[in-house]
Amino acid sequence: MKLTVNGKERTLEKEMTLQEFLISEQYQPHQVAVERNEAIVAKEAYETTKLEQGDILEILTFMGGGCR
């Protein structure tokens, strides 16, 4: 199955949920925001959202800042 993640084409060997994909890519699901096909996915839906052929994902990670 082919999908686009952060502007790069990816091929998945098997079907998986968004949660499974995030973990396989070493993301911490509670520390990211995900847009799928131009719609924000609620964190509660990560486990039940099945990725599909042609999906376009944008994964945003949160980074802490500080003062210098």
* Residue 62 pLDDT: 78
Can you count the helices (H) and strands (E) in the chain? 1, 5
Of 3.90.1150.10, 3.30.2130.10, 1.20.810.10, 3.10.20.30, the CATH number of 2-61 is: 3.10.20.30
Q: Number of C-alpha atoms within 13 angstroms, CB side, residue 31? A: 8
The predicted structure's pLDDT at residue 19? 98
Tens digit of each residue's pLDDT (9 = 90 or more) over 4-15:
999 999 999 999
Domain borders along the chain are: 2-61
Read off the pLDDT of residues 15-67 as tens digits, 9 standing for 90 and up.
Answer: 999 999 999 999 999 999 999 999 999 999 999 999 999 999 999 987 776 55
> Given this model, what pLDDT does residue 67 score?
56
Task: Note the pLDDT of residue 14.
Answer: 94
Helix (H), strand (E) at residue 24: helix 18-24
Q: What is the pTM of this model?
A: 0.88
